[in-house]
Amino acid sequence: MTSLQTRFQVDRERRAAVTQAVAAGFVALATMLLLATTDRLFGLGVFAIPFIATAAVVAMAPAAPLARPKAIVVSYPVATISALVITALFG
C-alpha cells in the first residue's frame, strides 16, 4: 500500500468512527426526549433508570457492543414494555 492509500484508509476509519458517535448521540437525544415526554405524560420515573445506564455505557465504553446505536434502539422498547408490565402488575 502506498502512503496515500494508507492515509485515505485512516481518514475513512476516522469518518466511520465519527459517524457512529454522531448516530449514538442522536439516539441518546431522541431517547432522552422520549423519556422526558413519557415521564411528563404518565409520571413514571422508572424510565430514567435505563437512560442513565445507557448514558454511562456510551460515555465510558463507546466501543462496547451495548453502546452501539442498534443495541440501544432495540433494548429500549424491550425495557419500556417490561417496565410498563411490571408497573401495571405490581403498581
**What's the pLDDT tens digit per position in 42-72?**
776 656 677 777 778 888 888 888 788 888 8
pTM of the predicted model over 0.95: no
- Sorting pLDDT into bands at 50, 70 and 90, what band is 6? confident
Could you report the per-residue pLDDT of 72-84, keeping only the tens digit for each?
888 878 877 887 8
What is the 3-class SS of the chain, one letter each residue? CCHHHHHHHHHHHHHHHHHHHHHHHHHHHHHHHHHHHHHHHHCCHHHHHHHHHHHHHHHHCCCCHHHCHHHHHHHHHHHHHHHHHHHHHHC
Question: Considering the chain, what percentage of its residues have pLDDT values greater than 70?
Answer: 87
